[in-house]
Amino acid sequence: MTSIKGKVAVVTGAGRGIGRAIAIELAGMGAKVVLAARGTSQLEETARTIGESASVIAADVRRRDDVHSLFDQVSAALGPVDILVNAAGIGIFGLVTEFSDADYDTILDTNLRGIFMSCRYVLPSMIARGAGDIINIASIAGKVGSATRAVYCASKFGVVGFTQSLAEEVRQHGIRVSVICPGSTNTSFSADPNREGKVKSKMLLPADVAHAVRMLVTQEPNSFISEIILRPTQKP
């Protein structure tokens, strides 16, 4: 497997759940990991778990200035980004007839616009170097729609389509852009009505998604896995 020792990795949404597990996995593989999220308390706890190879930068992926500042700080302190994992995400659920404009904007800005802005900012450096890995965390909800999740599904369908298109734009530059679509995962999305009655012990763990990331970043450079759909072995 290709080594990522010493590479610079940025993980958004790294304070909890899937993002936290991915950050810990990449650090364990020898990467210099930058943890990003809106608040620092959970990021600092993740950084303590990882140790000295982790850095913490507060950034709200919905805000362009925060995104620019994040990557400017990373570049100044560690160098150009080799691996970008867009794991920041939010779930707000409910009937379309009862959904507010504010909640719609929050979901789309966090789950989709944030990915667009982060990718746009790191790509010029990756293109110049002829290498880079970008991994976007979507969801099974980006493949199949369901009631009370229309806006959430729209954001995740958007992540899948954005990732597929971006991969075609930049593959000739040696940049691999992949999407992971996890099924039911035991995280803090407790407000999701689709999780009611599910057996948590049968759900995926955040570490399962992190293992998929490990596989993506250790591929040999002449190939890439464009999409991973990850399901629990048993239906929860």
Catalytic residue annotation: 152
Token pair 């979507």: residue? 138
CA angle 16, 65, 214 (to 5 degrees): 35
**Among the listed residues 228, 226, 218, the one whose alpha carbon sits nearest the alpha carbon of residue 9:** 218
Radius of gyration of the chain (CA): 17
Query: H/E element holding 55?
Result: strand 54-58
**Among the listed residues 209, 213, 211, the one whose alpha carbon sits nearest the alpha carbon of residue 184:** 209
Whole-number Å distance between alpha carbons of 117 and 102: 20
Whole-number Å distance between alpha carbons of 135 and 11: 10
